[in-house]
Structure 1
Amino acid sequence: MSEDSSYPCIDPINFDLVIVGTGLSESVIAAAASAAGKTVLHLDHNSFYGSHCASLSLNELTSFLSSHSVPPQPPPSPSTTDEQQKDDHVVIDLIPRSLYSEVEISSYASETEAILLETSRKFNLDLGGPRALFCADKTIDLLLKSGASQYLEFKSIDASFIFHKNNENGNLVNVPDSRAAIFKDKSLGIFEKNKLMAFFKLVQQHLAASSSGNNGNDTETSESAKISDEDLDCPFHVYLKKIGLPPKIKSIILYAIAMADYDQYNNEACQEVLKTKDGIDRLALYISSVGRFPNASGALLYPIYGEGELPQAFCRRAAVKGCLYVLRMTVTSLLIDKDTGHYKGVRLASGQDLYSNQLILDPSFTVSPPSSAPIDFWGESLQMLSRRDVKEIVARGICVTRSSIKSDVSNCLVVYPPKSFFPEQVTSVRALQIGANLAVCPSGMFILYISTLCDDANQGKKLVHATMNALLTIPVSGIPESNPIVQTENADAKPTVLWSACYIQELTTGHYESISSTPMPDGNLTYNDLLEEAVRIFHQMYQNEEFFPETISPENPEDNGGLTLEI
């Protein structure tokens, strides 16, 4: 819809909940509230679903990053007539903020650019990648419970690799996902295989003992098989050292299975020390993911057509339950009660005022309360919206190539632990390659997503470029130099980059009151933290409502539990 187009009039004007933005957290809440019988209006100023969790064409992604990397201008407030003015509320303008910066987009060779432009709409590029789902994680459970799974199809991630540094060089080694895989892995020695298999057995015994102990069966035997409370409360890397695991195995467990973000051995730089209890829980998730679905080859899944299908699935579920959707509709202002300072409604770019009991905002909005108003007039929600805190940032990269980083693998995850590239590297880097068999790019091409948490933009971009240089061939100069990394003696020929994007994204926190705000896509591989935020917001608003009541089981309960997986 163009700027001059007339906006539709929304009827009715009163709702239980208005949601602005169609990201994953917002879409899950819309579906849950609709399932609970609430009247929900779901708005988005974009022409597509997904907001910051969208999958976009090549042209759309370029346009989005370019437009969101500069300070946005607040939309003009619509003119109002005397009849539209209300005596019982004040109007507070919403201010859009830029959450993306340091955008670098490169296309290599003019003929390549022409080809990519012609096939732009065949790309589904994830704005918040790399992302994947464990077969047994909370996202899969929620998709099945909510019924949103019927709108999705998945494929398995073929393999996972981790960079293992040996002296000055290093190589990518397999991340084994079963006893059979450990036995067949030629990169592990006999001692390492025995240690890893013994550790997996120890974890399984602990989990079984914990489960049987909770049921009151054979308590004495259960307690002897469990890991002690003292060990569970200590740092995971300390426990792994205590049981004698070699360095390569510890690295695989910490960074490629437990997915630790920070250098666990650096007490000063590590912002999140992984405790043994949490590490064991993550291993349990990994182990239970392998083999959950018969036609899933590994622990990880990825949605066909990209991660943007996830919010769309929940939007479809919400629409079935009566949620009203309007895209290309901008919310310009909040309506605040003059006497109490409580939220009353929103004003649209069309000039129409809508009213609701609750409001959820896209994380890119802030407010600037008038200086003339007393501080105690503004509720906690408005005060928090006016000072959105950025807890950290994540550097992301997207590359388009014509060949795979592993000749015999199409879809794979690669992890570079801390210190893989530079001594000062304190965070892990994750790279996820997705091929055309997942309908995210034209046939014969591949997409590589890269991300790492960082304290500043220069540090993050340096790591993204170092990962690109390690896995890919950059055909032009201008990319920052990085330490050369040798994959193996007979390494696969590195794919040549056709197109790339590198950018910094801020990670904002969510908060909850009558005006709630969802968080930005985080630096995790999975969606679990985003879903936990959605659950918290829902229960904050509707304490006595069930988050997605149980639905009728699918007709074929043995067929992947209602989840569609393509081989």
Structure 2
Amino acid sequence: MEDDLPSEYDVIVVGTGMTESIVAAAASRIGKRVLHLDSNEYYGGLWASFNFEGIQKWIEDCHHPANPQEENVMSAVANDGEMLIKAGNQFSTISNIEEKWYIVEELADYQEGLLFSRNTQTDGGEIKGDVDNTKKEEDYETEKHEEEESEAGCGKDIVPHAPTQQWSQAKLKKEYRKFNLDLAPKLLFARGSLVELLISSNIARYAEFRSVTRVLTWLDGRLESVPCSRADVFATRHVTVVEKRMLMKLLTACMEYENSSKEFEGFEDKPFLEYLKSKKLTPNLLHYVLYAIAMATGTTPCMEGVARTQKFLNSLGRYGNTPFLWPMYGSGEIPQCFCRLCAVFGGLYHLKRAAEAVIVSDGEDSNLTCHAIVSGGRRLNTSHLVLAVGYAPPQFLQTAPNGGVSRGIFITDRSILPADKESLTLLQFPSADGCGEPVTVIEVGPSTNACPPGMYVVHMTCKQKITAREDLQTVVQKLLHTEFSDGAMIRTNTDTQSTQTASPNKTHSEDSEGQEGNETEDKGKSDPGSDLKPQVLWSLFFNCPETSDCDLTANVPTNVFLCSGPDVDLDFEHAVKQAKEIFSKMYQDSEFLPRAPDPEEIVLEGEESTPGPVFEGDSSEAKADENKSELGDEEEKGADDGGAE
């Protein structure tokens, strides 16, 4: 059946991943005719976020990739002298998928035993009389009522010593809409290139963020909170006064290294670790700086380690007590923000529409030139073609990816390190010898809309060595409880833990108030002998190729541009850099993503620009404040507060 899509475009973009979406928005913003396709029914590709039902379908799609259209059907749209090259299938690049449940399908079989267990608790081995039994029944009803309030998201604190909620597969699946599970979880540096781009282009108005509230590290067999800002350093009780002075002196040297080159003389060709040792840092301080602040390893070159440290410190104090932001509803929201801008400026979108083939011919200097794609049996002509690497024909990939990404997603019943308020956590788990690649751990809770109340989502990411499960197993065993839970045992948390739910009348910055100076100070360390690790309810492991280091320009038609998929980096820096490079090759004389006007700034043709009457009581200042983006508001707040520590 013939569709109504136009057949001529300036740019056709296939795939709605991060880089592709930025390029599509940039091209549409300068008035180019853009068609943006994706064979999936969702945005994001390998950068997507799913509810629980959606990720089940994604797993199924990976196990059973769709069959491509027959070549004889597509060849009818090619002209003389043109060649058809079949497009790739992104699902075929996902491997080593392992999904597992750790809880029963239904709790009904255990409810009677669970109630009996609660009502017959003993003190010193003696069974209490009727009066005590009655009291325990009342306590159980109170606990049940409090659990129901927590499930309803009323934002009340969980009573200390309260047991965690009992979950079954059926109960979890009923809450499927409340999950946002990321395939490629990433943070934003508060002064990183993506935040600057979101603000300068005015795309920030489409997104909301929460500040990461704590940075943890694994030291001496336990979790510890890392003092990030100056306030944290001087507030912590885990660092002596002498250590505080040493740490501040070191961090100041890293911040000002451009003006104090003599400080690093002789270390240019040595590891960053050697420089830190020369400063006579204590083992704890050395660990904090190397693994948590610089996020480096024992083999990281000195000047790279200094640059990493400076990048961390530069982002402090802009939006919160740590340098990082997390997108509400998951990292998969960010590509969609750029897609929205593309659509606003005339870009056409068509999900569930694949590019079956690329039409090319020999051009100048024997280089191939792309003329069109085949989609839905139709020929769609284009001046430029932007392809997610997963959709690229194998002939375009001269060198196969030499590495991969190992990913783990875990739904748990509590935080890896309980605190007085729900925390948004980053942990760089160092390798056993300190020289290998670390495992990045990000834990998000209900206030980010990642999961229902009473649960947490833990993401783990590292470079692939074997399979995702094998690569991450050591960290999983240290942080999580992975034995099967039948619901009959009550694992009581003896730490005080409360769940903070975002209020609709409160901004995210207000949610974070009172957390300055390390909110987890009293609970800054975990008990290595504790059996109260978070119970894993469900897990997923998978591997995907890492193409950020591949040469994506060789053996590719001159007007075709390939976009790499997610990498192991913590942030989106590579995707932003790659998108800018692609755009400059297509339109080198055009501005990259100039600021988009707000709706009230747009004057339609024939309309006068004279402002209409203002409702009495409104103020221009209040109106201006109302129209600011979340990031813009926070930026001004950070400036008023003195900027970075």
Alignment TM-score, normalising by the size of structure 1: 0.81
Partner of 1:277: 303
- The one-letter code of the counterpart of 2:25 is A
Specify which of 359, 363, 371 is matched with residue 385 of structure 2: 359
Query: How far apart, in 1, do the equivalents of 2:78 and 2:564 lie?
Result: 33
Match of residue 467, structure 1, among 446, 450, 475: 475
Task: Note closer, same or farther for the CA distance 1:66–1:81 as it changes in structure 2 (3 Å cut).
Answer: closer
1:269 counterpart residue number: none
Aligned to 2:576: 531
| Contact 1:32/1:548 (8 A) holds in 2 | yes
SS at match of 2:28: helix
Change (3 A) 1:425 1:67: farther
Is the counterpart of residue 544 in structure 1 residue 589 in structure 2?
Answer: yes
Matches within 5 A, 1:126-205: 126-129=182-185, 131-165=186-220, 170-204=221-255
More off after superposition, 102-111 vs 240-249: 240-249
SS of 1:355's partner is: strand
Deviations 1:51-109 (A, max 9, x none): 11110111221221342256764333473696x45224222212325221111101122
How far apart are 1:153 and its partner, in Å? 0.5
Structure-2 residue corresponding to 1:90: 83
The whole-number CA distance in structure 2 between the counterparts of 1:126 and 1:394 is 14
- Partner secondary structure for residue 173 of structure 1: strand
Within the alignment, does 1:395 sit opposite 2:422 as a pair? no
Distance (whole Å) between structure 1 residues aligned to residue 58 and residue 528 of structure 2: 41
Describe the shift of the 1:386–1:180 C-alpha distance in structure 2 as closer, same or farther (beyond 3 A): closer
Matched residue, 1:445: 455
**SS across alignment from 1:264:** coil
Q: CA deviation at 1:456?
A: 2.8
Name the CA shift for 1:244/1:121 in 2 (closer, same or farther; >3 Å). same
Once residues 455 and 249 of structure 1 are traced to their aligned partners in structure 2, the CA distance between those partners, rounded to angstroms, is: 30
Partners of 2:204 and 2:631 within 8 A in 1: no
**3-state SS of the aligned residue for 2:389?**
coil
Q: Is the 8 A contact 1:91 1:334 kept in 2?
A: yes
Letter in 1 for 2:369: H
Question: 2: distance between equivalents of 1:563 and 1:326?
Answer: 34
Query: 323-332 or 276-285: which moved more?
Result: 276-285
Q: In structure 2, the residue corresponding to 1:194 is in which secondary structure?
A: helix
Matched, 1:290 2:316: yes
Supply the distance in 2 between the matched residues of 1:88 and 1:454 (Cα, whole angstroms). 43
Task: For 1:76 and 1:63, locate their aligned partners in 2 and report how far apart those are by CA, in whole Å.
Answer: 25
Could you tell me whether the CA contact under 8 Å between 2:469 and 2:541 is conserved in 1? yes
Q: Match for 1:313: what amino acid?
A: C
* Cα offset, 1:290, TM superposition: 1.6
Kindly indicate whether residue 566 of structure 2 is the aligned counterpart of residue 521 of structure 1.
yes
CA distance in 1, matches of 2:480, 2:238: 22
Whole-angstrom CA distance in 2 between matches of 1:492 and 1:14: 63
The 5 A counterparts of 1:411-560 are: 411-419=424-432, 426-457=436-467, 460-476=468-484, 487-488=526-527, 493-508=532-547, 509=550, 511-512=552-553, 513-550=558-595, 555-556=624-625
Deviations 1:340-380 (A, max 9, x none): 632111001x2110111111111113435xxxxxxxxxxxx
Q: Is the 8 A contact 1:88 1:339 kept in 2?
A: no
Question: Residue type matched to 1:145 in 2?
Answer: S
For 1:290, the aligned partner's letter is L
Equivalent residue for 2:346, pick from 300, 304, 322: 322
**Which protein is bigger by CA-based radius of gyration?**
2
For 2:199, the aligned partner's letter is: L
| CA distance, structure 2, for counterparts of residue 410 and residue 503 of structure 1 | 26
Distance in 2, matches of 1:160 and 1:434, equals 13
Alpha-carbon shift at residue 139 of structure 1 (Å): 1.1
SS at match of 1:391: coil
* Contact 1:100-1:505 within 8 A present in 2 as well: yes
Q: CA deviation at 1:323?
A: 1.2
2: CA distance, partners of 1:299 / 1:545:
32
Aligned to 1:250, the other structure's residue is in SS state helix
Q: When the two structures are superposed, what TM-score results if normalisation uses the length of structure 2? A: 0.72
Could you tell me how far 1:428 is from its partner in structure 2? 0.4
Q: What is the identity, as a one-letter code, of the residue corresponding to 1:407?
A: P
Q: What is the distance in 1 between the residues matched to 2:474 and 2:190?
A: 30
Structure with more strand by fraction = 1
C-alpha separation in 1, matches of 2:270 and 2:8:
52
**Shift of residue 161, structure 1, vs aligned partner:** 0.5
Structure 1 residue 490, shift from structure 2 partner: 7.3
Aligned partner of 1:522: which letter?
D
Q: Deviations over 1:134-173 (max 9, x none)?
A: 21111111111121100000111110111013xxxx1112
Say if 2:59 is the partner of 1:8: no
May I ask how many residue pairs the two structures share in their alignment? Answer: 498
1:112-147 CA-partner distances (Å, limit 9, x unpaired): 211222222221100112x21121111111111121
- d(CA) in 1 for partners of 2:268 and 2:200? 31
- 1:49-64 aligned at under 5 Å gives the runs 49-64=43-58
Change in 2 beyond 3 A, CA 1:564/1:440: farther
What SS is found at the alignment partner of 1:432? strand
Match 2:169 to one of 113, 120, 128: 113
Counterpart residue number, 2:336: 312
Q: CA deviation at 1:7?
A: 7.0
Shift of residue 527, structure 1, vs aligned partner: 0.8
What is the CA–CA distance in structure 2 between the aligned matches of 1:184 and 1:346, rounded to whole Å? 60
- Indicate if the aligned counterparts of 2:417 and 2:526 stay in contact, CA closer than 8 A: no
Matched position secondary structure for 2:73? coil
Q: In the superposition, relative to structure 1, how do residues 128 and 227 fare at CA in structure 2: closer, same or farther (>3 Å)?
A: same
Q: Which runs of 5+ in 2 are unaligned?
A: 107-167, 486-524, 602-623, 638-645
Change (3 A) 1:232 1:560: farther
Q: CA deviation at 1:281?
A: 2.4
Go from structure 1 to structure 2 and tell me whether the alpha carbon gap of 1:74 and 1:387 turns closer, same or farther (over 3 Å shift): farther
Q: Distance in 1 between matches of 2:535 and 2:48?
A: 26
Q: Residue 482 of structure 1 aligns with which residue? A: none
Contact 2:464 2:471 in 1 (8 A): no
Q: Distance in 1 between matches of 2:287 and 2:263?
A: 21
RMSD across aligned C-alpha pairs, in angstroms? 2.8
- Decide which of 168, 181, 184 is 1:125's aligned counterpart: 181
Letter in 2 for 1:227: E
Letter in 2 for 1:443: P
Runs of 5+ consecutive residues of structure 1 not aligned to the other structure: 1-5, 211-221, 266-273, 369-382, 478-485
Counterpart CA distance in 1 for 2:581 and 2:217 is 34
CA 1:467–1:344: 2 relative to 1, 3 Å: same
2-structure distance, mates of 1:79, 1:303: 43
How many Å apart are 1:305 and its aligned residue? 0.7
1:45, 1:330 within 8 Å by CA — same for their partners in 2?
yes
CA deviation map 1:203-255 (0-9, x unaligned): 33x25xx4xxxxxxxxxxx55x7634654554322221222223332222222
